[in-house]
């Protein structure tokens, strides 16, 4: 079976981003039905030392849209994080990501296949530095495919499932099907 770089990346990101959009819609509906405030989700965390919900949504966009930009340009340079914002703005970020992903064409993305990349990624110097500015760059020698498969897509899924889990632990009635979104089935 042949799979293109576009199918591997853009279509994969779109499936999950659209599913996350649906999950955020379900969270909004849940709040309307229960009288809860959706803005209470913004700073929610699974555990005190984990990043909050708003970070998970920004990271989704960054690993999808800016992950592809990294493959295109050779530089992983997502914009600075915005931080806590109203829940409706988080929904808008997901919508913007879907629009940006839809703008990539198969020809454009597939032309980046096999490209050598030396990507600088930033990590905390040590555990205590995670909440400070003590970060170190590490350069990774990758190809377009290995960058997406071993860095961007795993990070993307981590943040998608973390956002899903934050909402689920706060009582939003979502299930596995909501997380999977619309499967890319073949025509029978």
Helix (H) or strand (E) holding 136: strand 135-143
Q: Is residue 182 situated within a structural domain? A: no
- The residue range of the domain holding 50 is 10-127+134-171
The mean pLDDT value for 102-118 works out to: 95
Pair 121, 151: CB distance under 8 Å: yes
**pTM for the full predicted model:** 0.88
Q: Say yes or no to pLDDT of 130 above 70.
A: no
Residue 119 lies in a domain: yes
> For residue 78, is it within any domain?
yes
pLDDT in tens, 9-50: 999 999 999 999 999 999 999 999 999 999 999 999 999 999
Query: In the chain, where does DSSP find H-type helix?
Result: 5-6, 12-34, 53-61, 67-73, 87-103, 106-110, 144-147, 153-169, 176-180
- The answer to whether 180 and 17 have CB atoms below 8 angstroms apart is no
pLDDT digits (tens, 9 = 90+) for 133-170: 566 777 889 999 999 999 999 999 999 999 999 999 99
Q: Is residue 60 a contact partner of residue 20, using CB atoms and an 8 Å limit?
A: yes
pLDDT category, 74, cuts 50, 70, 90? confident
pLDDT value at residue 129: 47
> CA–CA distance from 130 to each of 24, 49, 124 (Å)?
28, 10, 5
CATH value at residue 94:
1.20.120.450
pLDDT for the residue 119? 83
Q: What percent of the chain has pLDDT over 70?
A: 92
Percentage, residues of the chain above pLDDT 90: 72
Averaged pLDDT for residues 117-145: 72
Structural domains counted in the chain = 1
């Amino acid at each position: 079976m042949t799979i293109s770089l576009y199918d591997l990346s853009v279509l994969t990101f779109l499936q999950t981003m659209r599913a996350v959009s649906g999950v955020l819609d379900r969270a909004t509906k849940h709040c309307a039905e229960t009288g809860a405030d959706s803005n209470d989700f913004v700073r929610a965390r699974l555990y005190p030392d984990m990043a909050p919900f708003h970070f998970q949504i920004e990271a989704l966009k960054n690993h999808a849209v800016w992950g592809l930009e990294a493959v295109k340009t050779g530089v992983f340079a997502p914009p600075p994080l915005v931080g806590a914002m109203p829940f409706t703005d988080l929904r808008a970020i997901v919508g913007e990501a879907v629009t940006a992903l839809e703008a990539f064409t198969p020809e454009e993305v597939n032309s980046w296949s096999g490209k050598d990349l030396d990507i600088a990624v930033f990590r905390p110097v040590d555990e205590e530095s995670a909440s400070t500015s003590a970060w170190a760059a590490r350069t990774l020698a990758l190809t377009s495919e290995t960058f997406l498969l071993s860095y961007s897509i795993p990070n993307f899924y981590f943040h998608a499932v973390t956002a899903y889990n934050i909402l689920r632990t706060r009582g939003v009635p979502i299930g596995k099907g909501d997380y999977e979104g619309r499967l890319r089935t073949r025509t029978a």
